[in-house]
Amino acid sequence: MRRIRSYGDAGQAFPIYITVVGGLLFLAFAYFAVGQAAANRNDAQTAADAAALAAAQDKRDQLAGAWVQNLLDPAEWQDVFDGEAEGLGLSCLRADQLAARNDATVLSCAPDGLLGYTVEVETNKPVGESIVPGTEQRKSNATATAVIEPRCAFKLPAEDAGDDVLPLLTCKGREWDLDPKGPAELLPDPEDLFDVHLAD
């Protein structure tokens, strides 16, 4: 015999239905809030990575310029490849510029040893409103370190070789037979001399 559902049964089920739907909506909003925060953190990390790489690349370019200036003095080359050269300036302006392009602000920027830069940034935009209290004005921070690695090796010529004899420069398998009287465009580029990448 079929049971006829009474209005009383339907009335009892309705509060349960409302509770379940309410719980699902709460979970949906909670996942959305977590997604908002994760996206904001990712934006911060992207900005930090770009800023650190920009600072390191700027120092790489300065070191490459110092190497060209000391081209005729191979005894100074190793210091340049080790990150030591006269007249090098801080490269944090480039970090500021790249952070700004990624809608973030540099909180700190400093050399990390002689061949690296560490940058901390904060997003300009907050996480935004969500069901999690206090997120409206909360911003995300991230830190990144970029390092510069010399790509070249050389052996100094004998003392009696003469001033016009330069070492054979080998950079990751490519050999540069340098001619001190040759055109500047035949010299290695900064990216030939140094590699720049984020620290592991």
Please count the structural domains in the chain.
1
174 inside domain = no
pTM: 0.77
194 inside domain = no
Over residues 34-44, the pLDDT tens digits come to 456 566 788 99
pLDDT for position 139: 87
3-state secondary structure of 179: coil
CB hemisphere CA count around 141 (13 angstroms): 6
**Token pair belonging to 23:** 């719980």
59 inside domain = yes
Residue 40 or residue 72, greater confidence: 72
pLDDT, mean of residues 60-64:
97
Q: Is 94 left (phi over 0), alpha (psi -120 to 50) or beta?
A: alpha
127 inside domain = yes
Q: Which residue range(s) make up the domain with 59? A: 14-146
Taking the CA atoms of 189, 195, 197 and 199 in sequence, report the sign of the dihedral they define.
Answer: negative
116 inside domain = yes
CB hemisphere CA count around 2 (13 angstroms): 3
5 inside domain = no
3-state secondary structure of 137: coil
Q: How many residues does the chain have?
A: 200
pLDDT-derived band at 174 (thresholds 50, 70, 90) equals very high
21 inside domain = yes
pLDDT for position 31: 46
177 inside domain = no
Token look-up 């290695």 returns 188
